[in-house]
Structure 1
Amino acid sequence: MKIKDMAVISLLSALLLVLQIALNFLPNIELVTLFIILYTLLLGKKTLYIIYIFAVLEGIIYGFGIWWLMYLYVWTFLYFAVRYFKNNKSIIVWALLASFFGLSFGALCSIPYFLIGGMETGITWWIAGIPHDIVHGISNFIIVLVLFKPMFQVLQKQINLD
């Protein structure tokens, strides 16, 4: 990997962290989903580096708990979903994907609880978070609908990795 690639990946990872911290006071309203979608479309496989650096930075700041393990696979799940739809040009499709991701965030994050505590624990944890998942899904839809095109254009001009 080139030094330029490492520098850009580091900066984009830091940007995710800053955006997450800046909106931390708003429960389940975040820009990370939008940026992982954009990074995946623009950078492809290099996005995985960004995701894992972001997760490690979050762990360093907030501690390495069960939630941290979730971040390793939840954001990777989004990456693969974007790769599957990568040739799509419709902002509505990206907004719907982001919304579905937000709505399913709790279900995806409940997997360790299923493994650790069994079916009851996993389902209870998931159900308890449904109101937050609804906010997450709606906010992701609106954020992607409004910011996808302008942010895509800005990042496309600024990111030039071979």
Structure 2
Amino acid sequence: MSTYRLTLIAVLAAMATVGRFFLQHIPNVQPVTAIIILSAFFLGPFSGFLLAFLTTYLTNLALGMGIWTLWQILAWSLIGVIAGLLGKIIKRRVLVYLTVLAFFSGFLFGFFFAVINYIVSGKFLGYYLLGLPFDFYHALSNVLFIILLYRPFSQLFAREFDRVNQRKK
């Protein structure tokens, strides 16, 4: 992995961290998932994993570190890997697929935590059902952030790909 790519991931993690801090007062509305999806889609699954790890660690240093940090890293990493693999397959109607992935990622994130809660406490259904409204907010905010950030991110990553391709020539 190049120094440029690592720097890009660090800047993306900073953007996601600032976005999460700025919107922390609105439950489950934050740009982290959308930034991970977009970045992983264009940069690949490993970059999505690295971004998820770094963003979760940085934000939880200020918002509160606990056992949930590990689950957040795993959930966001899973979403990043899925987006990265999707980026290797999808070449047309990208925004549509990313929007659908973003919507379902809000529910996937909540479901992941419900499963972890079941493993820890033996309770699943009540925890999951009570979390559905928050998962819905997460899903809607993901769609909104994907729509807002898709064009700038695709232009940013197009420059990265042009720069890499020029160096290879």
TM-score range, shorter chain: 0.7 to 0.9
- After superposition, where does 1:56-75 map in structure 2 within 5 Å? 56-75=57-76
Q: RMSD of the alignment, in Å?
A: 2.2
Q: Residues 10-55 of structure 1, C-alpha deviation per residue, up to 9 Å, x if partnerless?
A: 2222221111111222222221122111211222122322211112
Stretches of structure 1 lacking an aligned partner (at least 5 in a row): none
Counterpart amino acid of 2:37? Answer: I
Q: Corresponding residue for 1:116?
A: 120
Shift of 1:95: 0.4
| SS across alignment from 1:38 | helix
Percent identical pairs in the alignment equals 24
Q: Corresponding residue for 2:37?
A: 37
Partner Cα separation in structure 1 for residue 77 and residue 141 of structure 2: 20
Structure 1 residues 78-87 or 150-159, which shifts more? 150-159
Partner Cα separation in structure 2 for residue 22 and residue 158 of structure 1: 28
1:94 to 95, 98, 105: 98
Counterpart amino acid of 1:141? Answer: V
Partner Cα separation in structure 1 for residue 10 and residue 144 of structure 2: 28
* TM-score, normalised with respect to structure 2: 0.81
* TM-score, normalised with respect to structure 1: 0.84
- After superposition, where does 1:4-43 map in structure 2 within 5 Å? 4-43=4-43
Paired residues, number: 160
